[in-house]
A = this chain, B = another copy of it.
């Protein structure tokens, strides 16, 4: 991952870690289930945004590298990996 993305992703992950800790506290304090569920969804959405960010960096960097190299085998591997991500996220 390139430096600016890396920093950005680290910042987001530490915010997410805080949100997960916050969720533990909500459970501890017997907060209303629906509020907990809403917050769980929010954390999932935040993780999805990290996923997108990492993926964009991957394409702009690693996949781009495979394209520039002209190495067909490497390109096939990269595309197969993207396909995996698609099929998985469809579920």
Given A21-B17, A27-B1, CB of A90 within 8 Å of CB of B34: no
- Whole-angstrom distance between the Cβ of A63 and the nearest chain B Cβ: 5
Chain B neighbourhood of A64, CB < 8 A: 76
In this complex, which of A36, A62, A88 has the most chain B Cβ atoms within 10 angstroms of its Cβ?
A36
- Whole-angstrom distance between the Cβ of A65 and the nearest chain B Cβ: 11
User: How many copies of this kind of chain does the complex include?
Assistant: 4
What's the interface size class on A, roughly? 35 or more
10 A-B pairs within 8 Å (CB atoms) are namely A1-B30, A10-B27, A16-B20, A17-B24, A33-B57, A37-B55, A40-B47, A40-B50, A55-B86, A70-B70
CB distance A59 to B79 under 8 Å?
yes
Give the complex CA separation of A1 and B23 in angstroms.
13
